[in-house]
Structure 1
Amino acid sequence: MQKKIFLLAMFIVIACCGLASAAVDRVVFYPSGADYTQQLRADIRTDVNGYYVLFTLSGQAEPDTFSIASLTKGVAVNDVSWSRSDLSQSPAAIETGKKIDQLKFKLDTVVSQRQAVQGGIMFWQERSKIQQTKSTELGKIADLVVSNLSKLYAQSAKLDMKIKELKDLIDELRRKLAEITGQGKRVWNVKVSVAAKGTKSAVFKVSYMLRNCGWTPKYKLDAYPATNKLKFTFEAEIRQGSGVDFNKCQIALATVKKRSRISPPNLQKWIIEPVVEEDVVVMERANYAAKSMMVADMAPSPAPRRVSKATYSLWEMGIKSIPAGTIRKYAVEDESWNVEYSFLTRPSISHDVFVSAKAVLKEARDYSAGPALIFMEGAMIGKRGFAFSGTEKTVYFGSDPMLKAERKTLEKRFGEKGMFGSKQTYNWKYLIELKSSRKTPVRVKVQEAAPVSGDKRIKLTVGSKPKAKVKDNKFEWLLDVPAKGKASLEYNVDMEAPDDMKIDFGLGR
């Protein structure tokens, strides 16, 4: 029985040691910066102040974010101190520097080869100028000149191309080196005072933020109205200039929440109201200012207002290796959404008919703001910013080139009516026509500004065929446009007001 217990205990110890050795470093990228968590084994040293361990961290580490905990029994952390060192470089920087030196040596060799070839070209060019007395010798020399110059010119062209390639590689590595080392090419020396008795080394869990790195979301939205589908692609572009090579680390992305016109223009309000004389306006403004000062004197100071901040989402990317000084792009999601497509036009301010897709997803999404490529059936139509939080999202896909809208003024008439002309009247009448080159019928929502009376003495009467729905001071119609056909509507606005009233007709002027 004791033997079985001993064997079981040994198995647990071995398993625990295996787990400890298999610990994987973790990096959480934010839009700006990264949170790096490691398990490090360090030798325990001693000086006049007692026991300590020493870590060398990237110069991009932020000391204020550093945290450390001992994972070894009997070892406790007391305090931490930081100092800069100009004598060390990260392994990645040293390796990159070696590659630059090797490429520079190759470049010098190729340049020397090109100089030798150019010398040969000069020799045969001069040789062709020597006059010979015998025609047979002239022919042989000519053949040699042509043959050798052809070979040498070809070699020179190849060497020129090789020189350019090497220079481009050196420039790219120098850019990478600048990203790896950061400003000053310095590192952090972190001295951690510990309490330890008879322990030669210990394992610590350290965590800190790194600058000069982060990630940006990249989106692609491709609309397919004929099938009510929207292809959605989400990629992450990771910038890695921390000075640390992330080798087989758990990578995660934190999506912190943080404009060619693709969406239709906004309609202005149509308000018909009396014209107010300038001296009345000045007097009203003065009265309003006086009243505002009196209210301000009596009112208490506004209380502080709490602004709620949305939480972030985390995208687990799995185990990946991301060397320092690189930019990597990874696919995060690639989906096909079922959406409802709509067509909207506001003909008084644009002939365009805009396409939008409304997605209603089963689960809430959280996509932080980033650039998006907008496509219509595989053809790119523009770029815009994109963000999505929740379950519903409407995306505009620009104007449909196969649909056009036009508004025509049929009538704009002023008159008087009633005894002694006691009333003034105004009448507007419009025609809206939609044309389609599509092979299938389409339903289009038409919106126009609906007039609002700015004075109870101004009476407005509206009519339309088909009948309009008035919502938020807008006329709205739903028109079914046949395939390769037309559809139209008419609407009118009639106004009555006192004869002596000066009127600002707003959008109807």
Structure 2
Amino acid sequence: MRTLSTLVLSIGILLCAATAHAAPLHIVLYPDSAQVTDTVRVPLEAAPGGVAGAFTLPLAVDPSSIGLAVDSPAKLTLTDVSIDRRPMRDEAAIAELRKRLNTERDARQNLIDTRSAFEAAANFWRSQELTRSVTPSNVHAMAAAVRDGVASSLTAVSNLVPRIADKDRLIAEMEAELERLTGGAADTWRVTAHFADATAREATLTVSYRLTQCGWTSRYTLNALPSEGRVDVAWDAEIHQNTGMNWTDAQVVLSTGRSAGRTEPPAVRPWVVGPIKPVLLRKAAMDNAPTEMAMMAAAPAPEQIHMREGIFFDEYDAGRVSLESGANRRVALRRLTWNATFDYLVRPQESDSAFVHATVNLDATPRLPRGEATFLLDSAFIRKSVFALSGREADLHFGADPQLRVKLETLDKKSGSGGIISKKNTYDWDWRLTVTNGKKVPAALRVEDALPSLRDERIKMEKRLPGATEAEGVATWTDTIAPGAEKTIEYGYSLSWPSDMHLDLGGR
């Protein structure tokens, strides 16, 4: 059975015979666009002042970015370039598709007629009755003949059902393709180049342009292996394009920068300083002012154009890539192994879990752009999150470990007052934290809790933090828990402040 892809290929050949098409050879792919270099051979015809030739580009091309250079013949001089938008409609291709569509419709009708004939045959055999000519000696033979006649007819009908369904699907696809071709749904840019030489019959041109509706995104997999003291990192690029053209064996370079997308610098805007002129607003204008101001505030800021020097972005050679329009492809960029120090991070006032925490210190500074990351712990899925890294140090978290049990108890929480000369209010907190290691290996423990931040010098604090270090407003305890053992930490605070001060205790 002829498939729709075969028909579309035939249509593409007809289109190529009518107009030259550029095909990407080299692509610098940015996260949201691409800079493309093509080579196209253009038939030339006589035109005023010389010769001219045309080729098409998809609508995803920014027409203001199109550049042309003559490769051959060397003496050919480019004098003018015009660009216009027009429907991609080819009458020869449409006529060919209609002819084949009619053929498929006739074939479908033949199958339906054949099915009807077999159904009639089955009904004939069902209607047969045993007559007087039937004798005990031939009754079994007659019954077998009726049975075989019905069975063979129904089998033929069943075999025709999927063939008719296949024809229905093919005809529906062909009708949709015909609608696309005749409805002008696919427009293109038609680029016409004019040359001074009146004798040339063909030109080979290098075409460059900015292409939208394409880009790439970083995809990471971070696999923590605590028993081996490392994190394995896989960095891939997911390339996508929906440009209306297929990429065939194109040389693709991935850039972490962004294409500027314009060939001229923006104009310098006037800077006017002067007295404000009063403006009288009518009531209707005053009523609409809040809405208009809200709309202005909600308008997106203009996109920042990133600098494209090498110190600001990186490029990666993805090699030869073939990718159809509307498709995605994943390309491996780098495979890294990071040595890491693992511990179990407990923040008891925030959660009753112990989280696997990896500290990574690298010799060189990687530049890993923002992208979606899959976090694994011993190759088991933990979570998906956003990841990026541009420094030599990284703190990575790989979810909670249920084999470490965390229990926080409140030992004391009370308010009071005192003082003879100067009346004061007081508040005391005391907690007991117990972490039990249910693992078969030792567990490095790190406990963090926020220190009270006092916003008035009249507030006095007593801290009870045995074995803790204090830095940047956080109290930290570190220890190693043996398999099956537990670690207990008791800590607390006492505050006092003048009785005439109304104090917010921060939710504890």
State the TM-score, normalized to the length of structure 2. Answer: 0.70
Match of 1:334 in 2: 335
- Among 138, 144, 164, which residue is 1:140 paired with? 144
Paired residue for 2:4? none
**How far apart in 2 are the matches of 1:182 and 1:229?**
58
Matches within 5 A, 1:201-212: 201-212=202-213
Mapped to 2, the partners of 1:173 and 1:469 lie a distance apart of: 75
- Count of matched residue positions in the alignment of Structure 1 and Structure 2: 430
Cα deviation, 1:352-396, whole Å, max 9, x if unaligned, reads 222233334444433333222222222222222222334443332
In structure 2, how many angstroms separate the alpha carbons of the residues matched to 1:169 and 1:335? 51
The match for 1:55 is: 55
Q: Secondary structure at the match of 1:365?
A: coil
The alpha carbon displacement at 1:495 in A equals 1.7
Q: Which residue of 1 aligns with 2:67?
A: 67
AA of the residue aligned to 1:497: W
Secondary structure (helix, strand or coil) at the match of 1:321 reads strand
Which shows bigger deviation, 118-127 or 478-487?
118-127
Match of 2:313 in 1: 312
Q: Distance in 2 between matches of 1:140 and 1:155?
A: 22
User: Could you tell me which residue of structure 2 aligns to residue 394 of structure 1?
Assistant: 395
- Asked if residue 226 in structure 1 is aligned to residue 227 in structure 2, the reply is yes
* Counterpart for residue 298 of structure 1: none
Post-superposition offset of 1:498: 2.7
Q: CA contact under 8 A between 2:451 and 2:473: conserved in structure 1? A: yes
Which secondary structure state, in structure 1, belongs to the residue aligned with residue 456 of structure 2? coil
Q: Which of 110-119 and 499-508 deviates more? A: 110-119
Over 3 Å counting, the alpha-carbon distance change for 1:418 and 1:255 in structure 2 is same
Note if 1:423 corresponds to 2:427: no
User: Following superposition of structure 1 onto structure 2, how do residues 41-440 of structure 1 map, counting pairs within 5 Å?
Assistant: 41-43=41-43, 45-72=45-72, 73-88=74-89, 113=111, 116=114, 120=118, 124=122, 127-128=125-126, 132=130, 136=140, 139-140=143-144, 143-144=147-148, 147-148=151-152, 151=155, 155=159, 159=162, 163=165, 167=169, 184-196=185-197, 201-256=202-257, 311-419=312-420, 422-440=423-441
Unpaired segments ≥5 residues, structure 2 = 1-22, 260-303
Distance 1:440 1:338 in 2: 19
Deviation at 1:82, TM superposition (A): 0.8
| Percent of aligned pairs sharing the same letter | 24
More helix as a share of residues: 1
Using the alignment, how far apart are the partners of 2:404 and 2:105 within structure 1? 59
Any conservation in 1 of the 2:86–2:190 contact (CA below 8 Å)? Answer: yes
The alpha-carbon distance between structure 1 residues 111 and 404, as it changes in their structure 2 partners (threshold 3 A), is farther
Distance (whole Å) between structure 2 residues aligned to residue 474 and residue 86 of structure 1: 66
Paired letter, 2:375:
I
What CA distance in whole angstroms lies between the structure 2 residues aligned with 1:377 and 1:107?
A: 58
The 1:171–1:307 alpha-carbon spacing in structure 2 relative to 1, beyond 3 Å, is: closer
* SS of aligned partner of 2:140: helix
Q: Which runs of 5+ in 1 are unaligned?
A: 1-22, 259-305
8 Å Cα contact 1:118-1:156 kept in structure 2: no
Residues in 2 aligned to 1:170 and 1:321: alpha-carbon distance in whole angstroms: 29
CA-to-partner distance for each residue in 1:103-131, whole Å, 9 max, x for gaps? 99779857865785587467547745755
Q: Is the 8 A contact 1:365 1:389 kept in 2?
A: yes
Residues 328 and 80 from structure 1, CA distance in 2 versus in 1: closer, same or farther, beyond 3 angstroms? same
The equivalent residue for 2:447 is 446
The one-letter code sitting in structure 2 at the alignment partner of 1:206 is V
Counterpart CA distance in 2 for 1:338 and 1:84 is 56
The aligned amino acid for 1:437 is: G
Q: What does residue 36 of structure 2 align with?
A: 36
Whole-angstrom distance in 1 between the partners of 2:258 and 2:490: 45
Partner of 2:494: 494
Cα contact 1:111–1:163 (8 A) shared by 2: no
- Quick one: distance in 1 between partners of 2:108 and 2:435? 68
**Partners of 1:28 and 1:441 in 2: CA distance:** 50
